Chain A
Amino acid sequence: MNQDIQSFTISIYTENNIGLLNRISAIFQRRHINIESLTTSQSEIDGVNRFVIVVNICEEQAIKIVKQIEKQVETIRAFYHTEDDTIFTESSMFKIKSELLFDEPQIQNLIKESYARIVTVNKEFFVLEKSGRRNEIEALRKELTKFGIMQFVRSGRIAVTKDEMKVTEVLHAFNNKY
Chain B
Amino acid sequence: MKDTQTIKKQANNTQKTMRISGSEAIIHCLLAEGVDILYGYPGGAIMPVYDELYKFRDKIHHVLTRHEQGAAHAAQGYARISGKVGVAMATSGPGATNLITGIADAQIDSTPLVCITGQVASHLLGSDAFQETDIVGISTPVTKWNCQVTKASQIPEAIAKAFYIAKSGRPGPVLVDITKDAQLEEFDFKYEKCTGVRSYNPIPDTDTEAVKEAAKLINAAKKPMIVWGQGVILGKAEAELKAVIEKAGIPSAWTILGASAVPTSHPLNVGMVGMHGNYAPNVLTNQCDVLIAIGMRFDDRVTGSLNTYAKQAKVIHFEIDPAEIDKNVKTEIAVLGNSKDSLSQLLPLLETNSHDAWLQEFKDLYAIEFEKVIKEDLTPSKEGLTMGEVIKQINIETKGNAAIVSDVGQHQMIACRYADFNISKSNITSGGLGTMGFALPAAIGAKMAAPEREVVAIIGDGGFQMNIQELGTIFQQKTPVKIVVLNNEFLGMVRQWQQLFFDKRYASTEMTNPNFVAIAEGYYIKARKVVKREELADAVKEMIESKESYFLEVCVEKEGNVFPMIPTGASVSEVRLC
Contacts and interface: CB of A to CB of B under 8 A. Distances in A.
14 contacts: A14-B199, A17-B1, A17-B5, A22-B137, A23-B140, A23-B141, A67-B323, A71-B323, A73-B145, A73-B165, A74-B145, A75-B199, A174-B198, A178-B7
Nearest to B199: A76
A70 B322 contact: yes
Main secondary structure of the interface of B (DSSP, over half): mixed
Nearest to A71: B323
Contacts of A71: 321-323
Contact of A19 (B136, B144, B198, B327): B136
Contacts of A19: 136-137, 140, 146-148
Given A16-B2, A178-B195, 8 more contacts: A18-B148, A19-B137, A19-B140, A26-B140, A71-B321, A73-B200, A74-B145, A74-B199
A161 B28 CA distance: 47
B4 A47 contact: yes
Nearest to A60: B326
Interface string A56-95: 0000000110011011011110000000000000000000
A64 B199 contact: no
A178 B323 contact: no
A10 to B, nearest CB: 15
Q: How large is the interface on B (under 10, 10 to 19, 20 to 34, 35 or more residues)?
A: 20 to 34
Nearest to A174: B198
Nearest to A20: B140
Interface in A17-64: 17-19, 22-23, 26, 30, 47, 63-64
A175 B198 contact: yes
Q: How large is the interface on A (under 10, 10 to 19, 20 to 34, 35 or more residues)?
A: 20 to 34
A120 B571 CA distance: 67
B2 A73 contact: no
Nearest to A69: B323
Contacts of A177: 196
A30 B141 contact: yes
A15 interface: yes
B197 interface: yes
A121 interface: no
A171 interface: yes
A70 B324 CA distance: 12
Interface in A92-136: none
Interface string A164-178: 000000010011011
Contacts of B2: 15-16, 47
A64 B328 CA distance: 10
B196 to A, nearest CB: 4
A171 B323 CA distance: 20
A18 B140 CA distance: 12
9 A-B pairs with the lowest CB-CB distances in the bound complex, closest first: A67-B323, A174-B198, A178-B196, A76-B199, A73-B145, A26-B141, A178-B7, A73-B200, A71-B323
A62 to B, nearest CB: 13
Nearest to A23: B140
